[in-house]
Structure 1
Amino acid sequence: MRKQQLLWVGLLSMSLFIGCKSGPYQKTSDGVIVTLKSDSAHTTKNVRLQVINDDIIRVSATPDGKFSDKKSLVTVFDKGQTTGWDAIEENGNIVLKTATTIASVSLTTGEVTFSDTEGNVLLAENKGGGKHFSDIEVEGKKAYTLQQVFESPADEAFYGLGQHQADEFNYKGKNEVLFQYNTKVSVPFVLSNKNYGILWDNYSLTKFGDSRDYLDLDQFKLYDKTGKEGGLTATYMVNADPNNVFVERTEKQIDYENLETVKKFPQDFPFYNSRITWDGEIEANETGKYHFILYYAGYTTIYMDGQVIVPERWRTAWNPNSYKFTVDMKAGEKRKIKLDWKPDGGISYIGLKALSPRPAEEQNKLSLWSEMGDEIDYYFIRGNNADEVIKGYRTVTGKSQIMPKWAMGFWQSRERYKTSDELLGALKEYRDRKIPIDNIVLDWSYWPQDAWGSHDFDAARFPDPKAMIDSVHAMDTRIMISVWPKFYYTTDNYKAFDEKGWMFNRAVKDSIRDWIGTGYIAGFYDAYSEGARKMFWNQMNDKLYSKGIDAWWMDASEPDILSNASIQYRKDLMTPTALGPSTEYFNAYALVNAEAIYDGQRSVNPNDRVFLLTRSGFAGLQRYSTATWSGDIGTRWEDMKAQISAGLNFAMSGIPYWTMDIGGFCVEKRYEQAKEGSEDLKEWRELNARWFQFGAFCPLFRSHGQYPYREIYNIAPEGHPAYNSMVYYTKLRYRMMPYIYSLAGMTWFNDYTIMRAMVMDFGGDAITHNISDQYMFGPSLMVCPVYTYKSTSRDVYFPANTNWYNYETGEYITGGKTMKVSAPYERIPLFVKEGAILPMGTDIQSTKEVQADLTVKVYTGKDGEFTLYEDEGVNYNYEKDAYSTIKFSYDEASKVLTIDDIKGEYNGMPKDRTFNIEWIVKGKKNTASEVKYNGKKVTVKISE
């Protein structure tokens, strides 16, 4: 401690001797630049530290003599911090210190180390600097392929990186390739359990972990099923019949992952109902842990040494998924391997590749690699907890808007309502059945078949769109509509973009046809162009917003110009962008596309809350009032489970609003064809009931998918346990609206995260670092989804130093242990933290109804507090301080609940209301107290 005090004194005094330039470093208005001796064009020459605030330091590094002045797409802060910090040269380092953070740069290697003011190292770049540069030139633009490696202690855990589908949670020691794809959203932000984050400001293809490419199986010695060296035995069976073999051949690779590589399949092989196996032995050249990645569509199982190593997984033929696993292997040792694959329909996709072993100490480091950029550019963000780190992320990339209140309610969607009557009929059925609903969604293809991108409605199916929209509004519901950045080249909208040079036209030039009818040719607009963004909104406004559409479903925003194209062809299809080569801007399309709608709508109607749902995303998305959903996922139990870890990591990527297709989007044929009374129909209903229970406790609550129809009453009849459960949780969601909407308010005012991994609130308990299947919904509720068929119980970990109540039964549970808890068909295990205060409203059918009188549940045993947030729900008056808060505080010693004076006001605010206080006490029957509240402070003692 004494040493650090002397250092700070030195900083203050020696700063007088730092001029604009002093030897190998230069002090700037917001930081320092260190110039290194460099004898190579690929070694670091300049390292710059910029103070954004006391907790956030920007680091830039380049082999060039100057830094890029290019404006970031991700960041929004105005300027760095010019006061409150200082820098000195000490022991061969430049040491920059703020009130909370010390950043040190080596004058010889450029290595940067971050510490707290006590000298405890928070993060250190790899010994020697960990920076790597190599030249890349694309379309005449010269830049660098970049890598930054950091040291990482053994007990560190990493989260974030967006939303991926391999059911991975803690990324320590794992690898993830960051690119955008249907079901995959990449965000270059890493959150550490050590209470810091790294925002990597780069838009190109990026790799977390191992920077090498996965290699094909021919990196191994391969033997066929007879033991002959040279490859695995690939057996192609017609109708899955081993006695009807189309061809049997030796294959050195299983690489059929895109539209180009599938051409290597045997010509004219009939894929429908087929089965292909790859069988033989595999021999490693090195001893160690191999990281495998399986890319699959259809039904896939992998065996090693006769044991299942990858249990059967399924994805629909046109929309593959990735799954990762590791195998410890010994050099020279043969291992039996079999991949058993049943394609699901026509030509499907399959691939199996691996990364060879690397030293564990290298694999476990924090490493970020990007294909193309002008310089290494990242932000170190520290905090005292995960919420403070995420607050720092939003300081850099923008605050998250408060979503409109109706967006917190239930949404009904399907692929797709084909007519006005279908849409209105579904909505009316909800109203007639008294099932709450706030939003109905009109998915793609409402336009004439040959006019994608026209934003016109097909007059035969939607004869009066304005009347349809008005009818939706008359039933106290909002309507969201699907809008793609895709335009058939015959439409007027396409021609308007093309005339300005604002289209990605490679798909048109290559005559790529989509899957509609006989196929139509289309291009995507260049959202990187400011002019194109304005035109995109103007076209939407003219045809859709002006008719009363409330919200936007921005589909295919990866952009998905051609599904299942190779990465290289995907780049070819979207280049050049208005800003430069697509290689450099590959991952940020969804961000600038969201900007188009957000800025556009607020320019036309600045007080109408914008709401966007997009299939892709990137760092900074939250500032455009945009949520992301997890894409066209499968309808399998393993897919449901994967959504939990996917949603948690997305939330820890700094973007608080996330949702998924409840029940999954792509449906197994057995469910499509299920008959009443069949086991398949029983499983379908249970799957949807369990998924619905989980979905009710996500930031956004949304049902969507392919046939069978997804309305509650179409999944199961009234009175069926699945129907009962889904209706129960829809109503419970609305009763919890005062709590949920308060959480939405906290995302703006407190930079809060609604869906919270256990490590966020209980990080001091090491067990929580790897819990990926239960989570906190706000500060009070622990949600524990059931994701296996016919399960009526599951294990739940109750974190230490906190006690819990079962929401349904009131059972009191002490923390610090794992318990098997009851999970009957109709209920999800749900627990409330001791000390929680849970405000709940009356039954309502939509958020248009005011919940003035509340039931306030007080879970006694510890002190607790909760602040109720309320505003007008649909506009931006909260930005002008038009909102109210009421703080509830419970004191366990005195057994008194204090309801503070109301703060603030807004139009329509309830003046006089009744609070029914429900006391939940360990081992006792619940009691209640009634409080009349007129906005003035009141106290109430527990009712005995």
Structure 2
Amino acid sequence: MKILRYEAQPGGLVLETSEGRMKLTPYSSRTIRIQYTMETAFGGQESIMIIRGPDPDLSYTTKEESYHLIFSTADITIRIDKQTGAFAYYDTNGSLLVQEPSRGGKTLVPIEVVKAVFDDDVKLETGQGADGLRVRADHIRREVDRKAYQTRLAFDWVDGEALYGLGSHEEGMFNLRGQHQYLYQQNMKAVVPVLVSTGGYGIVVDSYSLMKFHDDAFGSYLSTDVDAEMDYYFVSGSELDDVVQGIRHLTGKAPMLPKWAYGYVQSKERYTSQDELIETVREYRARGLPLDCIVLDWKSWTGELWGQKTLDPERFPDPTKMMDELHRINARLMVSIWPIMNPDSDNHKEMARQNGLLANQATYDAFQEKARELYWKQANEGLFVHGIDAWWCDCTEPFEADWKGAVKPEPEERMLINTAEAKLYIDPQWINAYSLLHSRGIYEGQRRTSERKRVVNLTRSAFAGQHRYGTITWSGDISANWDTLRKQIPDGLNFCATGSPYWTLDIGGFFVRNKPDQWFWSGDYDEGIDDLGYRELYVRWFQYGTFLPMFRSHGTDTPREIWRFGEPGEPFYEALASFLSLRYRLLPYIYSLAFRIYKDDYTLMRALPFDFRHDPRTYDIGDQYMFGPALLVNPVTEPMYYGSGSKPIDGRSKTRSVYLPNGSLWYDFWDGRAYEGGQVIEAEAPLARIPLYVRAGSILPIGGEIRHAEDVSSDGRLIVRIYAGQSGSFELYEDDGDSYDYEKGHYANTLLQWDEARRTFAVGERRGTHCGPITDREIVVQLFEPSVRSGSSSEPVVQSIRYTGIAAEVVF
């Protein structure tokens, strides 16, 4: 591809080449949009992923050399080979970030887009699959709709760099170097077409079709199946946090979830009545076990009216009274709603009258604004008006075709089966976008209806930009076994690395038992909670879930309430209760970081290279991560006590190997022992705890024992742990917990600071317009500072402050 001529326009650099046209548009000094087309003009299709346009005042420079064109902003330089069109990207210091192969990295292959035609010969078949109601079509005619392109964007990665992102998939890949991945929406696959690199950059592909990532024997590239042109963004940043900030600058802010959403969410398949929901919450309260939300899963409707967004009056005779009682006992309710509807339901009939259905005449058309508005109207009138607090938008990748049979198809076969099904009902160029638009409809509808209740939408699929609609993505219907638990950790880290901050899973696995005739039903515990092996697995999963953005149990086959795993005084019960309590004591830390997610585009669940990019030993560690700036979490992912069938395991060490990243001193959260970074240790991991470490310089605010997120029964007493070794700060955040007033500045911040040299801890003046329920509190300051850094225990030095919002300081 030879560069024939170029023109530096006010909006960007346009290149005329021997094989089409390219345009480089600076969106910021660190973000460049690159388009490539074979047409005479660049496409005008409005992006549904990108919501931010270019900065009109941003300047760039262009310089021509003998063999290259040089495009530069203040932070990025792109060298373009005039003979091949190959791009090489450099940072502000002139260091190479990444480059395309010398022959050029951009390819467009013309294709004919084939669309399904639903005429009178089409037969629609309604049935019940493993994943709910399904309506499939047969005898479909196909015809060519238009011309488009398959795109391929190739790179020569820099030796030693690591790549993360692409969303949450089930294989447990972490560093994506040397891997390949198919990007299409499916149960257990949540696509986000974003890569980030330890080299200090990210790539955002603005495409909604089937995509593929390869870094293997077939090459190193990202490809798309159907697009009008190639369209992507290159985002640079000195750290991965800067890259994520650039991504969210393009795709939008992540709004705050209500405070209760960071507490514990109890779910199972399924609570069947109003009485059962209320009695379960009452049991949590009676036992003194914290809880904030209970979930009403599928079939809350009448009979077989799948997808109807009203509650069965026999089992839920008074929804408003039910919600009043749940709210009285300080619990919230999340309700499962589906995009597919039984033709006999009132919701379906109303949607059909307004031509709001896709071609299977069962799934609502989220690509239509009027259909999204009607879907919200139905959800509002049937559920939200009664006081429902949160949505579980299940099956947001509404077409699948391989959840059947005893043998799981090979990955490429699965891709072909499932994308072919989706392409019957959705334009091939848009098959990955359904969840994004579905989420948009829920968010915009609820915000039009009420500003007093924040949107919470737990959804099984995802896409870039979906986070701006108050979504949390969960990883789908996974199975209960240790291998799955191990793989979920890197899956979640890769999802959050894309700039989408809220991810969770089914604690304990969705499928617990094994059904050999169904490949996906592959749990290892046919006795469910009666199997001591499952109880151990569940405890370890629960301990891991304590340090996820949303802390949520769910699954089929066996109950999930805490008391199903034993009684007080018994080891499994006590382990679960202990970590449930810990999650709530950490809420001042977690909720403050939730505000940073909104304000600073922060990432809560952090792959180690986010904080230790200059320590290459962290690049391939996918089973440890940072939870905020302070806590190093190390889940236990192997059985130590029991195998399946309650078979005792003899002689197994009750430890796990932990790498403590270089460049910091680390404290054991449980006993205060300190360790130098840059070493691997064997950490104690009995059933009652997992290895948990705190980085030196951390300030960790910890609350009292509470029973729900808004509980003030502990009188606001706050423990502030200081981990010495370097200076540090933390901003404590408070607001009303559930409205959007924070967007108008109605909140309060209190700056906590530790000065290592002066050995002083300072609490700043409380700033902001939110007073909150507690204006006078005791702050107990615990300073951890071991005299010997060799693993010896450390008892903290303790001082107290009576804090009324006025700045105060203590000296140690």
> CA 1:769/1:857 → structure 2, altered by over 3 Å: closer, same or farther?
same
Question: Aligned to 2:654, which of 779, 792, 799?
Answer: 792
Provide the rounded CA distance (Å) in 1 between the counterparts of 2:566 and 2:537.
Answer: 12
CA contact (8 A) 1:572 1:582 kept: no
CA contact (8 A) 2:721 2:781 kept: yes
Counterpart of 1:24 in structure 2 is 5
Counterpart of 2:44 in structure 1 is 69
Provide the rounded CA distance (Å) in 1 between the counterparts of 2:460 and 2:351.
Answer: 23
Provide the rounded CA distance (Å) in 2 between the counterparts of 1:372 and 1:123.
Answer: 26
Question: Aligned to 2:488, which of 634, 639, 643?
Answer: 643
Task: Give structure 1 stretches of 5+ with no counterpart.
Answer: 1-21, 38-43, 211-356, 509-522
Question: Aligned to 1:938, which of 784, 808, 811?
Answer: 808
CA contact (8 A) 2:661 2:677 kept: yes
Counterpart of 2:204 in structure 1 is 199
Counterpart of 2:353 in structure 1 is 499
Q: Deviation of residue 573 (structure 1)? A: 5.1
In structure 2, the residue corresponding to 1:391 is in which secondary structure? helix
In structure 1, the residue corresponding to 2:768 is in which secondary structure? strand
Q: Deviation of residue 932 (structure 1)? A: 1.5
Question: Aligned to 1:112, which of 73, 79, 87?
Answer: 87
Provide the rounded CA distance (Å) in 2 between the counterparts of 1:101 and 1:675.
Answer: 55
CA contact (8 A) 1:34 1:110 kept: no
Provide the rounded CA distance (Å) in 2 between the counterparts of 1:872 and 1:105.
Answer: 52
Q: Deviation of residue 418 (structure 1)? A: 1.1
- 588-597 vs 113-122, which moves further: 113-122
Instruction: Map Cα deviations across residues 198-228 of structure 1 (whole Å, 9 max, x no partner).
Output: 0011111100006xxxxxxxxxxxxxxxxxx
CA contact (8 A) 1:35 1:107 kept: no
Counterpart of 1:227 in structure 2 is none
Counterpart of 1:846 in structure 2 is 708
Question: Aligned to 2:108, which of 133, 139, 142?
Answer: 133
Q: Does residue 463 of structure 2 align to residue 618 of structure 1?
A: yes
Provide the rounded CA distance (Å) in 2 between the counterparts of 1:176 and 1:572.
Answer: 18
Provide the rounded CA distance (Å) in 2 between the counterparts of 1:587 and 1:810.
Answer: 47
Counterpart of 1:918 in structure 2 is 782
1:156-555 correspondence to structure 2 within 5 Å: 156-209=161-214, 358=217, 363=219, 365=220, 367-506=221-360, 523-555=362-394
Q: Does residue 152 of structure 2 align to residue 147 of structure 1?
A: yes
Q: Deviation of residue 885 (structure 1)? A: 1.2
Provide the rounded CA distance (Å) in 2 between the counterparts of 1:872 and 1:792.
Answer: 43
Provide the rounded CA distance (Å) in 2 between the counterparts of 1:87 and 1:675.
Answer: 66
Two-structure CA RMSD over aligned residues (Å): 1.9
Report how many residues are paired: 743
CA contact (8 A) 1:889 1:899 kept: yes
Counterpart of 2:449 in structure 1 is 604
CA contact (8 A) 2:480 2:524 kept: no
- 904-913 vs 135-144, which moves further: 904-913
Provide the rounded CA distance (Å) in 1 between the counterparts of 2:359 and 2:292.
Answer: 39
Provide the rounded CA distance (Å) in 1 between the counterparts of 2:366 and 2:559.
Answer: 34
In structure 2, the residue corresponding to 1:770 is in which secondary structure? coil
Instruction: Map Cα deviations across residues 375-421 of structure 1 (whole Å, 9 max, x no partner).
Output: 11110000010000000000011111111110000000000001112
Counterpart of 1:890 in structure 2 is 754
> What is the one-letter code of the residue matched to 2:509?
G
Provide the rounded CA distance (Å) in 2 between the counterparts of 1:935 and 1:754.
Answer: 27
CA contact (8 A) 2:235 2:246 kept: yes
> What is the one-letter code of the residue matched to 1:738?
P
Counterpart of 2:603 in structure 1 is 753
> What is the one-letter code of the residue matched to 1:828?
I
Counterpart of 1:777 in structure 2 is 627
> What is the one-letter code of the residue matched to 1:796?
V
Q: Does residue 743 of structure 2 align to residue 865 of structure 1?
A: no
CA contact (8 A) 2:185 2:397 kept: yes
Instruction: Map Cα deviations across residues 655-713 of structure 1 (whole Å, 9 max, x no partner).
Output: 1111111001011248765399xxx7111111111111110011110011112100011
> CA 1:675/1:381 → structure 2, altered by over 3 Å: closer, same or farther?
closer
Provide the rounded CA distance (Å) in 1 between the counterparts of 2:62 and 2:424.
Answer: 42
In structure 1, the residue corresponding to 2:429 is in which secondary structure? coil
- Give aligned-pair identity as a percent: 38
In structure 2, the residue corresponding to 1:762 is in which secondary structure? coil
Instruction: Map Cα deviations across residues 102-143 of structure 1 (whole Å, 9 max, x no partner).
Output: 123334433222212332221222222211221222231210
> What is the one-letter code of the residue matched to 1:651?
C
Provide the rounded CA distance (Å) in 1 between the counterparts of 2:527 and 2:774.
Answer: 50
> CA 1:721/1:384 → structure 2, altered by over 3 Å: closer, same or farther?
same
CA contact (8 A) 1:47 1:110 kept: no
Provide the rounded CA distance (Å) in 1 between the counterparts of 2:353 and 2:64.
Answer: 57
Instruction: Map Cα deviations across residues 137-159 of structure 1 (whole Å, 9 max, x no partner).
Output: 22312100110101112201100
1:715-726 correspondence to structure 2 within 5 Å: 715-726=565-576
Instruction: Map Cα deviations across residues 169-201 of structure 1 (whole Å, 9 max, x no partner).
Output: 000011001111111111110010101000011
Q: Does residue 713 of structure 2 align to residue 708 of structure 1?
A: no
> What is the one-letter code of the residue matched to 2:625?
Y
Q: Deviation of residue 85 (structure 1)? A: 2.3
> CA 1:526/1:572 → structure 2, altered by over 3 Å: closer, same or farther?
farther
Provide the rounded CA distance (Å) in 1 between the counterparts of 2:470 and 2:676.
Answer: 39
Provide the rounded CA distance (Å) in 2 between the counterparts of 1:548 and 1:709.
Answer: 26
CA contact (8 A) 2:528 2:558 kept: no
In structure 2, the residue corresponding to 1:134 is in which secondary structure? strand
> CA 1:81/1:113 → structure 2, altered by over 3 Å: closer, same or farther?
farther
> What is the one-letter code of the residue matched to 2:807?
K
CA contact (8 A) 2:655 2:685 kept: yes
CA contact (8 A) 1:413 1:702 kept: yes
Q: Deviation of residue 815 (structure 1)? A: 0.9
> CA 1:23/1:137 → structure 2, altered by over 3 Å: closer, same or farther?
closer
CA contact (8 A) 2:67 2:83 kept: yes
Q: Deviation of residue 835 (structure 1)? A: 1.4
Provide the rounded CA distance (Å) in 1 between the counterparts of 2:12 and 2:222.
Answer: 24
Q: Deviation of residue 69 (structure 1)? A: 0.3
> What is the one-letter code of the residue matched to 1:464?
D
Q: Deviation of residue 88 (structure 1)? A: 2.9
Q: Deviation of residue 763 (structure 1)? A: 1.3
> CA 1:450/1:674 → structure 2, altered by over 3 Å: closer, same or farther?
closer
Provide the rounded CA distance (Å) in 2 between the counterparts of 1:422 and 1:922.
Answer: 51
In structure 1, the residue corresponding to 2:430 is in which secondary structure? coil
> CA 1:114/1:672 → structure 2, altered by over 3 Å: closer, same or farther?
closer
Instruction: Map Cα deviations across residues 850-896 of structure 1 (whole Å, 9 max, x no partner).
Output: 46321100111221111111111101111111111111111112211
> What is the one-letter code of the residue matched to 2:8?
K
CA contact (8 A) 2:87 2:105 kept: no
Provide the rounded CA distance (Å) in 2 between the counterparts of 1:816 and 1:696.
Answer: 26
